[in-house]
Amino acid sequence: MAETSTDNSQSAGIDLSQFYQVFFEEAGENLENMEQLLMKLDIEAADDEELNAIFRCAHSIKGGAATFGFSDVAELTHKMETLLDKLRRHELSPTAPMVDVLLSSGDSLKAMLARHAGAGGEEVDTTELLFNIRAFVAGEGAIVAAAPQMPVAAEPVAAAPASTAVDNAPLSTAVAPTTGQRVVELRVGPLTDMAVADNLAELFKEITDLGTIEVMPDDASLANVRRFKVTTSTAESELLDLFTFHVAREQVAFFSLEAAAPAAKPAAPAAPAADAGFGFFDDAPGSPAAAAPAASAAPAPAPAVAAAEKASGYGFFDDAPGAPSAAAAAAPAASAEIAVAKPAVAKHAARAEKPQAATLEASTIRVSVEKVDQLINLVGELVITQAMLAQNSRGLDPVVYQQLVTGLTDLDRNTRDLQEAVMSIRMIPMSTVFSRFPRMLRDLANKLGKKVELVTQGEATELDKGLVEKITDPLTHLVRNSCDHGVEMPADRIAKGKPEVGTITLAASHQGGSIVIEVRDDGRGLNRDKLLSKAREKGIDAPDSMTDSEVWGLIFAPGFSTADQVTDVSGRGVGMDVVKKNITSLGGTVEIDSAEGYGMRVAVRLPLTLAIMDGMSVGVGEEVYILPLSSVVESFQVSPEMVKTVGGSGRVVEVRDEYMPVIELEKVFQVPRFDWEHNSGIMVVVEAEGGRVAMLVDELLGQQQVVVKNLESNYRKVSDVSGATIMGDGRVALILDVGSLVRRSRH
């Protein structure tokens, strides 16, 4: 294929490698897009628009790959495109195996692109894929052979009479460079000195492996033109390069001599330079056809020029606006062609003008994450300055400083809006996470012999990019778990009166300052007794008095697995405990709900961003600490008789018949005391990692959004502290790591 072979990254002094990165990104996007479309494709009732969109993805990758010289990518996409083209033209109907092969092809392309991008990896073997795709494409030929090949096949028949000398049509270069030995007629001329033509023939003979050349009888209609019969496998462009040592490029032309040629390549006769890689319409506006009448009066030189152009890979429609004059001779054949073409054109246009999925490209820009983070950081500083100003101005008399106070109020509002707007830059829709699941689930279900359908909801829900990256693995685990342990085998489902195909739902939604991502399945659900006995087997303390939700929570206990046997899907060492730990470390929580026989729901609640947090500030002595609001359950005034000492130093507090450990922040952080008669009388109950503790503090200062600063990178790791923030008055307050404090209470 001429279209798929390029070799150079350096041409015209332009280094094509500078465009590689853009191409890789674009191809990656196209592959993602294609995969999603393929996953969504309804084989029974494939939507034309979708098929077109899939085709366009492959087409676009092919174009770039061929241009930038990635011939392996171009070859595979070219084959895919051929298949997809037949699909979108309804010459073939999509089948599940086709979709499978197209998906695997997508995987191979990703691997190839990664290799070209320098990520390493084995060379990708596409032999089987290419074979399969070819088989699909050919399969159509066998089945629908009786049906005419629509316009393409019909045209040559109609066009042939108009084109008076079919076998004189210039040979297609699309065929030439790759086909083997072929016989062509070489015309040299018109020449003033006919000996030059003989020199050419001599030159041809001198070079080994070029082929054979024989002189053909002169054609009376072609004055001063010498004809040769050439048998060669060398590309015409190379021959031209060779001959132009002796004659002008315009004086050399090739014509097909093989009777089989028109049949094999029906497109060729329709226009001069057809399939040659270019062409001009001689009657179109803008055509460089100024000398058209003169040119058509002398038919012989004209095809020569056309042929020369054809060999160079582009072309003009002779009578077209702007087309160069020389190709004018083709006009008669060409105008006949227009008449033939009309129905086809109309059809084509109708298809093309359908509304198509708009690209977002025009309205988006790519910015590095660092730049955004820097912006977020600066806005964070601004927020702190604003809070400081607000605090300092509080004592001012609003009557005297009316304008200043109004200004500060505006500043407050604008800062908040600005902060929100800047934070939203980092927000990306959950669809970027969800999009990976259909494929994964499909492969997994196939492997397990189950039938599962994935439903996604709230894909537009936005989440901080940093969180998106970190939540992907835990979610993957939950989805795998649902498919592996939750959804039953099809036969079991039918036996239970459930639909054969199980459903796993991924749903994201905003709830307050959090995002809630749910993984639901309609599988077998959790069995309380089984979980309890399993837990006891594993030596986990599990009394019968546990509430259902506590029992469900057992699956997050380290080393716990509900599967009767370890499969290579879920039981891979990484348990649900790691999932829970990862989510907790993001400041999130996990909840499980289940009804045996009806399924299970795992809800992951996460803060919207890691950079800003809703916090509750509490005072201990002179210090201020921040508790993540998401972990705060309640707070209450404590009276001395509620607190009991157990086992020497441990203290517990009784809240509604429930005892929980007390943590005295004063002792944990060794807060210096100056007022010896103080009385810490407030308990804040916080929850993390399935446990609750009550923290003893002096006072509750309020709730606010705080900008989280990493303590580790600015100072060093401090136990029980997850970060720090700067308060309105400029003081630093530590953000407590509730999970670590809960763990501390267990020792």
Among 125, 209, 361, 657, contact with another protein (rule: CB under 8 A): 361
Is residue 120 at the binding interface for another protein, with CB under 8 A as the rule? no
* 414 residue type, one letter: N
How far, CA to CA in Å, does 645 sit from each of 508, 649, 657?
A: 44, 7, 16
CB of 93 to another protein, least distance (A): 22
Is residue 460 at the binding interface for another protein, with CB under 8 A as the rule? no
Selection from 166, 237, 232 nearest residue 205 by Cα = 232
Rank residues 240 and 276 by Cβ distance to another protein and give the closer one.
276
Region 232-271 residues binding another protein, contact defined as CB under 8 A: 266-267, 270-271
Rank residues 260 and 362 by Cβ distance to another protein and give the closer one.
362
Tokens 């085709």 locate to: 55
Note the Cα 659 to chain centre separation in Å: 51
CB of 121 to another protein, least distance (A): 22
Is residue 342 at the binding interface for another protein, with CB under 8 A as the rule? yes
CB of 348 to another protein, least distance (A): 5
Region 436-455 residues binding another protein, contact defined as CB under 8 A: none
Is residue 153 at the binding interface for another protein, with CB under 8 A as the rule? no
CB of 103 to another protein, least distance (A): 22
Rank residues 319 and 720 by Cβ distance to another protein and give the closer one.
319
Helix pair 71-88, 96-116: axis angle to 10 deg: 160
Among 275, 462, 623, 687, contact with another protein (rule: CB under 8 A): 275
Residue 486 CB neighbours (<10 A): 26
Is residue 56 at the binding interface for another protein, with CB under 8 A as the rule? yes
Is residue 62 at the binding interface for another protein, with CB under 8 A as the rule? yes
- Cβ–Cβ < 8 Å for 723, 736: no
CB of 141 to another protein, least distance (A): 18
For residues 431 and 513, give the distance between their C-alpha atoms in angstroms, rounded to a whole number: 19
3-class DSSP state for residue 5? coil
Is residue 561 at the binding interface for another protein, with CB under 8 A as the rule? no
Query: Which residues, 6 or more positions from 346, have their beta carbon under 8 angstroms from its beta carbon?
Result: none
Note the Cα 648 to chain centre separation in Å: 59
Among 254, 281, 434, 552, contact with another protein (rule: CB under 8 A): 281
- Cβ–Cβ < 8 Å for 319, 288: no
Rank residues 58 and 727 by Cβ distance to another protein and give the closer one.
58
Region 312-331 residues binding another protein, contact defined as CB under 8 A: 312-317, 320-324
- Rg value, the chain, Cα: 37
Among 22, 264, 404, 563, contact with another protein (rule: CB under 8 A): 22
Region 581-640 residues binding another protein, contact defined as CB under 8 A: none
Among 191, 216, 341, 540, contact with another protein (rule: CB under 8 A): 341
3-class DSSP state for residue 226? strand
Long-range interactions of 216-219: CB distance < 8 A, separation 24+: 216/185
Rank residues 284 and 372 by Cβ distance to another protein and give the closer one.
284
How far, CA to CA in Å, does 130 sit from each of 52, 57, 81, 452?
A: 21, 18, 12, 29
Q: What tokens appear for 678 in the block?
A: 């103080």
For residues 519 and 455, give the distance between their C-alpha atoms in angstroms, rounded to a whole number: 10
Rank residues 14 and 215 by Cβ distance to another protein and give the closer one.
14
Selection from 168, 144, 159, 163 nearest residue 222 by Cα = 168
- Cβ–Cβ < 8 Å for 226, 165: no
Is residue 60 at the binding interface for another protein, with CB under 8 A as the rule? yes
Region 397-416 residues binding another protein, contact defined as CB under 8 A: none
Rank residues 88 and 465 by Cβ distance to another protein and give the closer one.
88
Q: Which stretch binds another protein (CB under 8 A): 17-25, 112-120, 433-441, 549-557?
A: 17-25
- Cβ–Cβ < 8 Å for 311, 240: yes
Residues in the chain: 747
Is residue 288 at the binding interface for another protein, with CB under 8 A as the rule? yes
Binding mask 169-198 for another protein (x = CB under 8 A): -----x------------------------
Is residue 390 at the binding interface for another protein, with CB under 8 A as the rule? no
CB of 711 to another protein, least distance (A): 41
